[in-house]
Amino acid sequence: MFRSTYQTGFISVFYSIGSDPLQLWDSKSEDGSVERLLDEDLKSTVLELKGASVVTTSIQCPRQKLGPLRSLGITLPYMVFLVKNMEQPCSFEVQVLDSKNERRRFRASTFQKKVKTNEAITAMPLKLSPGWNHVQFNLDEFLHTWYSTRYKETVHIQVHATCRLRRIYFTDVARPESDLPPEFRLFVPEK
């Protein structure tokens, strides 16, 4: 999808504000909901994934109707989520292509207690603070640590209920929130 795009700085794959934030995404909700609503803390529209199970309510990018082998083709190594902790289980999964042309998955979950890894997937704990969080994954570091390979590109992303999302983006370097452009910051109004 983005392979032929010049990639530097930032690439946003989800932003809750706009006419069609799920344009690149498929959603699944068997016993819950995926809906836009006004977040009381941000005073802004966000996407809420809510469900009885992380298995039955999710969003994924790219859309599967584009083809199951379709890759996002994003080469920027830092993936960032602006996510609200809803005090319920949630997980984020990213599939990447490494320097050996192997597809690897990383799943970070609030219910995972310790890191478990095999040739195909690494599952790791995700600790979210109360309220809104700026979560950053260094995909190159993950691959180097667990597979002794290097990051080539991101293939696929999944987000599983229950959480609220403001934005998901990729960037070329790690940046503190204070160095981000205003549209990539997580503003929480003063009460």
Q: Please name the residue ranges forming H helices in 61-148.
A: 139-147
Residue 131's pLDDT is 94
Mean pLDDT of 104-126: 95
Buried b (16+ CB within 10 A) or exposed e, 117-128: eeeeebbbebeb
Q: What pLDDT digit, counting tens, does each position of 45-102 carry?
A: 999 999 888 888 999 998 876 555 678 888 999 999 999 999 999 999 999 999 999 9
Question: pLDDT exceeding 90 applies to what percent of the chain?
Answer: 63
What residues contact 106, with CB distance under 8 A and at least 6 apart? 93, 94, 96, 121, 122, 124, 137, 139, 142
- Measured CA to CA, the distance from residue 15 to residue 175 in angstroms comes to 19
Mean pLDDT of 124-135: 94
Residue 188's pLDDT is 58
**In the structure, what pLDDT confidence band is assigned to residue 6 with cuts at 50, 70 and 90?**
low
Of the candidates 148, 149, 146, 126, the residue with the CA atom closest to the CA atom of residue 137: 126
**In the structure, what pLDDT confidence band is assigned to residue 4 with cuts at 50, 70 and 90?**
low
Residue 169's pLDDT is 93
Residue 68's pLDDT is 57
Residue 2's pLDDT is 62
- Token look-up 């997980």 returns 91
Residue 75's pLDDT is 94
pTM of the entire structure? Answer: 0.90
Q: What pLDDT digit, counting tens, does each position of 8-47 carry?
A: 788 888 989 888 899 889 899 888 899 999 999 999 999 9
